[in-house]
Structure 1
Amino acid sequence: MFNWFKTAVLMAGIVALFGMIGAALGGQQGMILALVFGGAMNVFSYWFSDKMVLRMYNAQQVDETTSPYLYNMVRELAQRAQLPMPKVYLINENQPNAFATGRNPENAAVAATTGILQLLSERELRGVMAHELAHVKHRDILISTISATLAGAISALANFAMFFGGRDSEGRPANPIVGILVAILAPLAASLIQMAISRAREFEADRGGAEISGDPHALADALQKIDYYARGIPMHTAEAHPETGQMMIMNPLSGGGLRGLFSTHPPTEERIARLRGMRLA
């Protein structure tokens, strides 16, 4: 129930941002149009954002023939978690990382980079894939895919407001300063909404993943390795589409400038400490 509440809060907050941008662009009529557009984007992203993200990263679906090591591992963990078998994808990226997507457990997918398969031991990789399956089990994927899709749309609308201006409620040209403020503050507000939910979501997926794999220390060791190596290996798709970074088990962005201040992931040291302090029944 709490996950559905978080989803409702996120969707309401981001649709409200669409309304604010619409008001800056075209007054009351613009706000109404933006709210309609925001609602339509929610429906669209619910059904199609998983396919969009997988296509964006050029993820290739694998099975027990093309990648038996990864596929059989995910199948065993899905059975332990009492989940339907998700689709499994490989991403040809050197940076070690992984994510889950899909609107519900019956339509879920998990993806891993070639870099993470090369870096981690079997035990550590099980911990990572169990973390991703915990996202599936908690239905967290809906939150991340909707926010990733809509955050990008908010940025696009905000840029439109800055470059093309807008109209006030009486149809007069809006103050250009308002357009600039919208262009700056709207994407910032969208990021804050993502951050408020994403950090708690990652902690909960760490805990759930440790329970699925039965080995909290395996995920802790994996996070330590990923954090160390991912810093020096760029992921160009994530850099080009930073709104998708929150979906990964580790922040894939370079972290330079303001990005480092607005990370959607909790500090790795705190995640590791919590995992090492876990005691499974």
Structure 2
Amino acid sequence: MFNMFRTFVLLAALTALFMVVGYFIGGSSGMMIALVFAVVTNLFGYWNSDKLVLRMQNAVPVERSRVPELYDMVDILSRKAGIPTPAVYLIQSEQPNAFATGRDPQHAAVAVSSGLLKHLQTREVAAVVAHELAHIRNRDTLTMTITATFAGAISALAQFGLFFGGGNRDNPMGGVGRLAMVFLAPLAAMLVQMAVSRTREYEADRGGAEISSDPLALASALQKIAALAGQTVNVAAERNPAMAHMYIINPLSGQRMDNLFSTHPDTANRIEALRKLAALAHVDDKGRRPQPRPAPTSTGRDIGGGWRVPTVGRTDENGGQRGPWG
């Protein structure tokens, strides 16, 4: 219920932003046009934005026969997460990365890049998939997908403003207002993306660690993806930067801003949080937990460390059995 309310508030905020952009572009009439456009975008975003995002990122559905290990991994982890198994998509990109999309767990998809399968170990791929399943379970995917659609539409609307309504007297700032919107509207959309994405990544990291039971594998995966993402160009993401916040790690090779203007939390901070989770859960770097020592079955005298000396041998002065060492 809270996630639905949060999505409603986000849609209202983006609709209001749309109307402000429309007003500064075309006055009252521009604001009404923008309102209609926002309503259409809302409806389209709810029903079809996942398909649009997958298409824009060049993600294609793959048959189970092609990557059976990945299919089985997604199926097993989905059952652990308590959600239906999502559709599996592959992104033909050397950059290791992944994202999830869909309006709800019943209509969700997980997309991983060919580079992810190539460069990461099986445990690390499973941890990344678990992270994306946590997004689906938390119903983040609808919010993030709609935000991506809106951000792209707002940027396009702002650019269109340069060529629209030059002589509109209803706009109190005239050409200055339109010019300001060209720069401020995309910035506002980016700020909304950051607000949506950054806290959700930490939550999905925790959820992914819980689902995979292997927080250090996720930490290792994040470290590798972050290092390789800066060296490898994701062409689809570069063409559609409004979608960048959907990925587990920022896919834009040119972006190095880790603080105010980053769509993702700092990777080092995420890794540190995962290491703390591993320490609390007593999980080692192989995903193993220490097994409890079996309770001793023999009777005897406790000599520490879980060991007991058997009470066989001589009888002490009180009539009890003494061990061979005393």
Tell me, yes or no, if the aligned pair for 1:166 and 1:174 is still in contact at 8 Å: no
CA distance in 1, matches of 2:179, 2:130: 43
Question: Which residue is equivalent to 2:33?
Answer: 33
How many residues align? The count is: 280
Specify whether residues 185 and 118 from structure 1 end up closer, same or farther in structure 2 by C-alpha distance, changes over 3 A only. Answer: same
Q: Give the whole-Å Cα distance in 2 for the aligned partners of 1:259 and 1:267.
A: 5
Q: d(CA) in 2 for partners of 1:259 and 1:12?
A: 28
Report the residue type matching 1:34 in the other structure.
A
Q: Secondary structure at the match of 1:229?
A: helix
Match of 1:266 in 2: 265
Q: Which moves more between the two structures, 143-152 or 22-31?
A: 22-31
Q: Corresponding residue for 1:123? A: 123
Aligned counterpart, 2:241: 242
Answer whether contact 1:26 1:167 (CA < 8 A) is retained: no
Report the Cα distance in structure 2 between the residues aligned to 1:166 and 1:18, rounded to whole angstroms.
19
How far 1:66 moved relative to its partner?
Answer: 1.6
Q: Following TM superposition, by how much is the alpha carbon of 1:177 offset from its aligned partner in structure 2, in angstroms?
A: 1.2
Residue aligning to 2:89? 89
The alpha carbon displacement at 1:7 in A equals: 1.4
Equivalent residue for 1:149? 149
Q: Alpha carbons of 1:59 and 1:173: their partners in 2 closer, same or farther (altered >3 Å)?
A: same
Which sections of structure 2, spanning at least 5 residues, go unmatched?
A: 283-326
Structure 1 vs Structure 2 CA RMSD: 1.9
The one-letter code of the counterpart of 1:184 is: F
Per the alignment, do residues 89 and 138 of structure 1 end up closer, same or farther by CA in structure 2, a change over 3 Å counting? same
Structure 2 CA distance for aligned equivalents of residues 257 and 273 of structure 1: 19
Offset, 1:30: 1.8
CA distance in 2, matches of 1:254, 1:158: 25
Quick check: 2:23–2:171 contact (8 Å CA) kept in 1? no
Find the residue that maps to 1:232 and give its secondary structure.
Answer: coil
What are the residue-to-residue correspondences of 1:176-195 with 2, within 5 Å? 176-195=175-194
Q: Where does residue 62 of structure 1 map in the other structure?
A: 62
The letter for the 2-side match of 1:250 is: I
Q: What percent identity do the matched residue pairs reach?
A: 54
Distance 1:74 1:204 in 2: 19
TM-superposed deviation, 1:173: 9.1
What residue is the counterpart of 2:49 in the other structure?
A: 49
Whole-Å separation in 1 of the counterparts to 2:171 and 2:109: 48
Q: SS of the counterpart of 2:61?
A: strand
Give the drift of 1:255.
3.3
2:193 alignment partner AA: Q
Supply the AA of the counterpart residue of 1:189. A
Higher relative contact order (CA closer than 8 Å, sequence separation 6+): 1
Q: Which residue of 1 aligns with 2:290?
A: none
Identify the residue that residue 139 of structure 1 maps to in structure 2.
139
1:254 and 2:253 correspond: yes
Q: Which stretch has the larger CA shift, 20-29 or 80-89?
A: 20-29
Q: Secondary structure at the match of 1:60?
A: strand
Instruction: Indicate if the aligned counterparts of 1:165 and 1:174 stay in contact, CA closer than 8 A.
Output: no
* TM-score normalised according to structure 2 size: 0.82
Task: Determine if contact 1:6/1:197 at 8 Å carries over to the other structure.
Answer: no
How far has the Cα of 1:236 moved from its partner?
A: 1.0
Distance 1:166 1:24, change over 3 A: farther
**How far apart, in 1, do the equivalents of 2:172 and 2:212 lie?**
59
Unaligned runs of 5+ in 1: none
Runs (4 or more) in structure 1 with deviation over 6 Å come to 257-260
Contact 2:96-2:114 within 8 A present in 1 as well: yes
Q: Does 1:7 align with 2:7?
A: yes
Q: For residue 317 of structure 2, what is the aligned residue in structure 1?
A: none
Greater helix proportion: 1
**Alpha-carbon separation, structure 2, partners of 1:157 and 1:44:** 17
Distance change >3 Å, CA 7–CA 115, structure 1 → 2: same
Answer yes or no: is 1:221 the counterpart of 2:225.
no
| Separation (CA, whole Å) in 2 of partners of 1:259 and 1:160 | 30
Letter in 2 for 1:161: G
